[in-house]
Amino acid sequence: MAAIKYGQTMLQEGEAARLSLRSEGQQQQIARDLLQVGLRLLQLQLHEYLMHRASRAIGTKSDERF
């Protein structure tokens, strides 16, 4: 869960940095980096969700809330 919070913070800070830059090249590079962070964040969220579902399917307890 900490990785997801960290990723969300990175996305917010990166977008603010992108908007403050003048160079189009710098903006494009940060936009690509933000896209990669966003995709990784989605992967982490999907993994947590699937692990939660798997643990419920086999009858173990999970401390994640979905």
Provide the residue range defining the domain that includes 38: 2-57
pLDDT class of 48 with cuts at 50, 70, 90: very high
For residue 63, tell me if it sits in a domain.
no
For residue 62, tell me if it sits in a domain.
no
CA distance 66 to 61: 13
User: Is pLDDT of 25 > 80?
Assistant: yes
The mean pLDDT of 1-27, rounded to a whole number, is 77
User: Is pLDDT of 47 > 90?
Assistant: yes
| Structural domain count, the chain | 1
For residue 33, tell me if it sits in a domain.
yes
User: Is pLDDT of 10 > 80?
Assistant: no
User: Is pLDDT of 26 > 90?
Assistant: no
CA distance 11 to 50: 23
For residue 64, tell me if it sits in a domain.
no
Q: Which residues contact 27 (CB under 8 A, 6 or more apart)?
A: 18, 21
